[in-house]
Amino acid sequence: MRNLISLSDLSDDALRALVADSLDHAAGSRAPSLEGRIVGTYFRKTSTRTRTAFTAGALRLGARVIAYGPEDMQLVTGETSRDTGRVLSGMIDALVARTSGSTEELLDFAHQGRMPVINAMSAQEHPTQALADLTTLHERFGHIERLRVLYVGEGNNTATAFALAMSRYRGAHVEFRTPPGYGLPAGYLRAAAGNAARSGATVVERHDMDGLPEGFDAVYTTRWQTTGTSKPDPGWRSVFAPFQVTGALWETSPKAVFLHDLPAHRGEEVTADVLDGSASLAFRQAEHKMHSAMAVLRWCLG
């Protein structure tokens, strides 16, 4: 039994195997392989792409799906996450969960040791998004090693997962430009730096948009208001304003592709001409969420 709660759960070989399997699913070369399995999806927060990706992916692989909404389980009446996980493990084969808080609840679900638990986004990390990101980059460039990526915006759960993922690849360079006070958590930066020390990658973070290097292969941003969160500073928009992705970033990186985990707020973190432009892979990236979900389900259910 394998859980996917953090990308730190994966070896380098497992990460690469999941990306390869995602690419195979994108090419349509995998036959259904989860016949007779039952997958539960539990989402306490809104989700268009991730929920649909895991539901459609499980169905395409031949599994059946039980969907739980935020009020459907007796967690709301006081049952513990460990007890809930233990009960579910006797009835379904895997649980895909998006919580409203930390990964601790996911670890409690997984404590039963029988039913795989998949993190469909927690406050700290969005591991399956990073798998879709890597799949998108590999499909476009044929490799991930040595790619140079500029990430602009908040150091949120998408950013932490992306840092943990890209730092595994030899020669990759990820430059995070995050607003002051909204950077990546220190623990995730340390973990990414540890990965980079082993792989020969580089991960750097600055809190301004000055002196950007040239020649990035990809520019990545996410929405400023992460799902299920709010910002304590009422003036946060003025802090974020210099970090909007506009066409000006392509003056020094004319061949760069554009990535966005969606949903996008046009005119906030990105201008419409970039999101809809010829460099944008954002909507193909969204498709790869299903291909990556299929790979994760196959990996966890083995």
CB of 300 closer than 8 Å to CB of 4: yes
CB of 201 closer than 8 Å to CB of 166: yes
First CA to last CA across the chain, in angstroms? Answer: 8
Residue 291 dihedral angles phi and psi, to the nearest 5°: -65, -40
CB of 68 closer than 8 Å to CB of 99: no
Question: What kind of architecture, by CATH, is found in domain 7-125+289-301?
Answer: 3-Layer(aba) Sandwich (3.40)
Omega before 263 within 30 of 0, i.e. cis: yes
User: Tens-digit pLDDT profile for the chain (302 aa)?
Assistant: 899 999 999 999 999 999 999 999 999 987 789 999 999 999 999 999 999 999 999 999 999 999 999 999 999 999 999 999 999 999 999 999 998 788 999 999 999 999 999 999 999 999 999 999 999 999 999 999 999 999 999 999 999 999 999 999 999 999 999 999 999 999 999 999 999 999 999 999 999 999 999 999 999 999 998 766 778 888 999 999 999 999 999 999 999 999 999 999 999 999 999 999 999 999 999 999 999 999 999 999 98
As beta bridge partners, residue 245 has 270
CB of 97 closer than 8 Å to CB of 128: no
Q: Which two tokens stand for residue 53?
A: 């990706």
CB of 192 closer than 8 Å to CB of 164: yes
pLDDT score, position 228: 62
Would the pTM count as exceeding 0.85? yes
- Could you tell me which residues come within 8 angstroms of residue 171 by beta carbon, excluding any fewer than 6 positions away? 145, 146, 200, 201
Q: Where are the domains of the chain?
A: 7-125+289-301, 128-286
Rounded to whole angstroms, the Cα distance separating 165 from 188 reads 11
Instruction: Assign domain 128-286 to its CATH superfamily.
Output: Aspartate/ornithine carbamoyltransferase (3.40.50.1370)
